[in-house]
Structure 1
Amino acid sequence: MREGLCTLLFVPADDARKVNKALESGADAVILDLEDAIAPQAKDNARRLVREILDARIEGGPAMIVRINAPDKRWGVSDLEVLSGAALDAIMVPKATPRMLGLLPLTCPPVIGLVETAEGVEEVPGVAADPRVVRLMLGSADLAADVGSELRTDELDLLYPRSRVAMASAAAGIEGPIDVVHLDITDDDGLVAASGRSRSLGFTAKACIHPRQLGPVKDAFTPGEDDIVHALAVVEAYEQAQINGHGVATVGTKLVDLPVLRRAQRTLTISGISARPLTKENL
């Protein structure tokens, strides 16, 4: 699965109209949901529709991810059978734990582990270390139900699980995780604030449940011009210090050492300019 996916839009997999709108929404990725959004009696039809969509897929569109049902349930087994050989970028595994991942076929597509239980949060290093896992996502609603916690507007309830998921991703060397969905689709201010909180902890994307959320999320996770200018200045200062035989530099009044350099390089990578010569003409 390609890196840098910032906006990921959930859509019920049994609604062809909504799926088509999601594919045209401008989201970096569309998550075809076979799990919570689908009633038991509609799951067979949803699977057929998902396979038809994937078989008709053309290049140049959003990444295609399918959230399957838990692989320890018959629905999850059926999902995997229908998706075998399909043109998708990843499967999202709900209630991810090392035990749950152990039930997947060894040759399954790349996996996004959806961490949404107390067990999953506590065992998240093992989830992140699975070689099939390319990214983690945190889920809030199921986690709150499992723990008995309150979904607070200030999201203090998410500080510990967010931190665990972000640390596990970094330790495993996989891409930064995907944040929880914001359940109020009209609360733009709350969405931006939530995105800022998760970004500050190391998250690099947020899942969305409505196309109107895509713009605020994209803005929240994309470095601004000031961020890029500062990152370029850090790289330039550090490179010049190295030429002069020094291990540190300064930008303004702030010290620049190797960890600061790595953060600046990450900013440029997210901005899509790190592969080119690091000059201000790249802006």
Structure 2
Amino acid sequence: MKFKSIISFIVLISMLVASSSVYATAPIVKENIIPSQTQEIYSQEGELIALRTLSMQSDTEINKEGTAIKLTQTIQYEFSSPEFEAKYKSEYENTSYVEHYFVNKNNEIYHDDVKMTDEELKQEISITPNPTSSLKLSTLSNDTNGIPAICHYYGDYSTYTMACYDRMNFENAPGGNNIKKTSSIQNVYAVRAMNTIDIFYGDYKAFQGAKVAFSSAALTAIFTIETVILAIAAGGGAAIAGVTAITYYNICNGDLEKAYGYLKQI
């Protein structure tokens, strides 16, 4: 399996080198707009709050110095009623996020002008089941959601226990700070945390799906962040899945940071 992964990596390098040589004197810009994805956002009472639409786009410029990649993600909310907009607009705000990668002639990769380390780039990622929980939350409850190892809640529709890390890595391992709180459903920050965990669960599933799609397109079950970035730089079938995976990875971490922040206020 690792041999197959190495072959796929070599193919990506070859595609990237070929692209760089063809456009050595005439820079070329490629725009790739990925179809938007819409998710329904519900309250803890089961009422439709809003539709969340995620838009993704990648722009690559190939020149004699290397390949520059710009990834743009935009999230917009369409509320189901003026009442819900007034109540939830501070919780669900439209956002836009841009990040840049650059692959130079030596295949060194920079992220937002900072050179990425081998530790960041070379860690192998495999398509695996959900990680084992280290937060030790009970599953013997009437209402639960999230990923137990990363960010999760459970309760009896009256009192809830919530635990969350504020980060995860590309291989689904939790990291950073963690927090655990128990609160009444009447606490506004508990409700906001649970709403965010609900969203995180959907984003997490989309992230896993994007990694599976990338694995299939790149013809390997084991890959690295480096493989994903080089695939985006080279274009081709794996590029869209690579952009989608990185986008949902960023969104998942945004969800975790947001949920963690709400829990700190309980």
TM above 0.5, one fold? Answer: no
By percentage of residues, which structure has more strand?
2
By percentage of residues, which structure has more helix?
1
- Structure scoring higher RCO (CA < 8 A, sep ≥ 6) equals 2
TM-score of Structure 1 vs Structure 2, range by shorter chain = under 0.3
If the length of structure 1 is used for normalisation, what is the TM-score? Answer: 0.27
If the length of structure 2 is used for normalisation, what is the TM-score? Answer: 0.28
